[in-house]
Amino acid sequence: MEIGKYKTALVNKSKIDNIFGILLYSNSNPFLVKVIKDEDFWNSLHTNSGTKFPIFALKPKLGYYSLPNQNNHTLYHLIPIWKEPSENQELLKELGIPDTKKLPLLVICTEVNKTYLSCAYEIKGDSINSVFNSLNKFCKIINDTVEKFDEKNLKNNESLFREISKNFEYYVAWNELNKGYGMFKKIRSFFKLF
């Protein structure tokens, strides 16, 4: 299986040559499923990334946890083992993802010198709006990155990919730092009571 099978005419018509996103999801996050299937949400995401950066939604077969086999007269730890369906192996290998445990993921892909570069980011949210805002923020980061590139440099897949992944990592790190700072403020205010 090649990732190229997932590309459609949209990729060929896009402003960027051969760089796209794949949204891997499962039914375990009903909020993301609602965002994907709701035409208004999806059109809004398409407006932010559509012709400049195509994003495809793909639902791989869902893996599961199972306990190891117990032999008679032996003790073993009850540590569940993740079982990945064989149907996903080729796709995961192409995308450079170890497994589908942490779905949903937004995977950015490009081809450079007949090898695929990819980076994956977890989509988080506990409501329809938070999932949509998370996806929308990633689309805006992509759009802002593409807009900053000179038109003639948009065909340089490797540098555009590196810039998008760097901006994503900065965004994710900044969010984690803000969460930590918020927790620090709560703890500090708690100790001020004493």
Mean pLDDT value of segment 162-178: 86
50 pLDDT above the threshold of 80: no
Q: How many domains does the chain have?
A: 1
Name the residue range of residue 42's domain. 3-192
Query: Could you tell me whether strands 19-24 and 55-58 are parallel, antiparallel, or unpaired per DSSP bridges?
Result: parallel
What is the DSSP secondary-structure string of 15-84? SSSSEEEEEE--TT-HHHHHHHH-HHHHHHHHHHHTTTS-EEEE-PPP-EEEPPPPPTT-------EEE-
110 pLDDT above the threshold of 80: yes
Name the pTM for this structure.
0.76
- Predicted pLDDT of residue 9: 37
> Of 12 and 103, which is predicted with more confidence?
103
pLDDT digits (tens, 9 = 90+) for 138-161: 888 888 888 887 777 777 888 888
The CATH code of the domain that includes 132 is: 3.40.30
Integer Cα distance of 170 and 167 in angstroms = 5
1 pLDDT above the threshold of 80: no
Tell me the CB-side half-sphere exposure of residue 48, using CA atoms within 13 A.
Answer: 19
User: How many degrees, rounded to 5, is the angle at CA 80 between CA 74 and CA 82?
Assistant: 130
7 pLDDT above the threshold of 60: no
Share of the chain above pLDDT 70, in %: 85
Q: Check if the beta carbon of residue 155 is closer than 8 Å to that of residue 17.
A: yes
Share of the chain above pLDDT 90, in %: 10
Mean pLDDT value of segment 30-49: 87
- Predicted pLDDT of residue 24: 92
How deeply is 4 buried, as exposed, middle or buried, from its count of CB atoms within 10 A (0-12, 13-18, 19+)? exposed
> Of 97 and 152, which is predicted with more confidence?
97
> Of 77 and 159, which is predicted with more confidence?
159
